[in-house]
Amino acid sequence: MRTQQTRLALCALAILFGGMAFAEDKKPNKIGNLDPEMADRKQADDGLAWYPVRDWGVEGRILPDQPRASWFDRFPKSADGHVTKNVWNLSRHSAGMMARFQTDATAIHVHYMLTSGNLAMPHMPATGVSGVDLYARDDEGTWRWVQVTRPSKQEMKVELVTGLKPGMREYAVYLPLYNGVEFLSLGVAAESHFEPLPPRDQPIVFYGTSITHGACASRPGMVHTAILGRQFDMPVVNLGFSGNGKMDAEVGEYLIQIDAAVYVIDCLPNMNAGLVSERCVPLVQQIRAAKPDTPIVLVEDRRNTNSWILPNRDAHHTANHEALQTAFKALRDQGVEGLYYIEGDHLYGDDSDGATDGSHASDLGFMRQAEVFAPVLKEALGFREATTR
């Protein structure tokens, strides 16, 4: 009996482990094995011609002639110890940076190194936090999305896209939103033509919070700042600092060093009414003293998409709005011209579906913000053209 029980036990174990081995053999190790559209990008080909983007420059990197701690930092080295520690650390993310080029290649590869191994956040995917996002102009000259990397490690050397329609066209790559970059190169077949396009002048300059920074876009090209840059076909500077966009005068010292087409001040999500009352007027006066003809847009706090059911949160937004409205009126009464205003109640839409977590925009929320911003920016840019003729 004992021998028979032992044999049965051994048979059961064999079946168990054999089944586990069989399951392990058959189980896909990645969803990409089931859905090719979700597979990792293939490794870059050998024998490519590689072009480091720092050889011709990126848009969104202010004061490029000033020394930097790292080439892809948004702020120059002089900001270290001058702005707050948090702002400095966040400025080392490459949010808003974009490089343009022309090529007739039918495949484009990318090789880049990230400064952090934290590739994603619980509510923001790696494609947005650490991805490189490719756009191209179509035959009508409109910017259209092409492909994004799918970061799985700090150093990525992959085929970004292949099978492209033949012909020379203009491309743009957006850099990661919530990660830094050590280096970035674009690769094409050696026989392909590749022409770098230098950064354009007079950007739209955004100073704001985590939302401006890019939380929680699925891709770097989906932030409202990038959407508006494509819509107006203008360069953009993204000075969004997650949790730390607070109308700091020290940040203002760098804003006024930029030859901006327009300044967009969108800091209220990180502030309360008292801080708005204390800092808004001085910041606008600081900018206007240095840039008398550059339009300035003030943006109200968006309402959290669940504030309709959270009375305390809703009251916070209302107080912020009232404080900014009072500051705006005071500035107008002082005779400040070229000042514009964007209300916050409808920035994410009216159906509570424009955010990932109530606070930070989804792609839908970013598209809706861009739609609200666009007519105001158009008017502000018209003012600039009129005053600089």
Domain boundaries, the chain: 48-197, 204-388
pLDDT at 252 over 70: yes
pLDDT at 36 over 80: no
In whole numbers, what is the pLDDT of the chain averaged over residues? Answer: 92
pLDDT at 38 over 80: no
pLDDT at 13 over 60: no
Q: How far apart are CA 128 and CA 150, in angstroms?
A: 9
More confident site: 388 or 220: 220
DSSP tag of 35:
-
- Reported confidence tier of residue 15, pLDDT bands at 50, 70, 90: very low
Token pair in block for residue 105: 């290649």
Percent of the chain with pLDDT over 90: 86
- Stretch 160-181: mean pLDDT: 98
From the list 100, 101, 91, the residue with the least C-alpha distance to 63 is 91
Architecture in CATH for domain 48-197: Sandwich (2.60)
DSSP tag of 359:
S
Q: How many CB atoms lie within 10 A of CB 180?
A: 22
- Tens-digit pLDDT profile for residues 183-205: 999 999 999 999 999 999 999 99
pTM of the model: 0.90
Report whether 79 contacts 153 (CB < 8 A). Answer: no
Give the CATH superfamily of 204-388.
Answer: SGNH hydrolase (3.40.50.1110)
Q: How many CB atoms lie within 10 A of CB 200?
A: 14
pLDDT of residue 383: 81
Q: How far apart are CA 358 and CA 354, in angstroms?
A: 8
At residue 188, what is the residue type?
V
- Reported confidence tier of residue 2, pLDDT bands at 50, 70, 90: very low
- Reported confidence tier of residue 5, pLDDT bands at 50, 70, 90: low
- Tens-digit pLDDT profile for residues 204-213: 999 999 999 9
What are the phi and psi torsion angles at 310 (to 5°)? Answer: -120, 90
- Stretch 302-326: mean pLDDT: 98
Report whether 219 contacts 138 (CB < 8 A). Answer: no
pLDDT of residue 386: 77
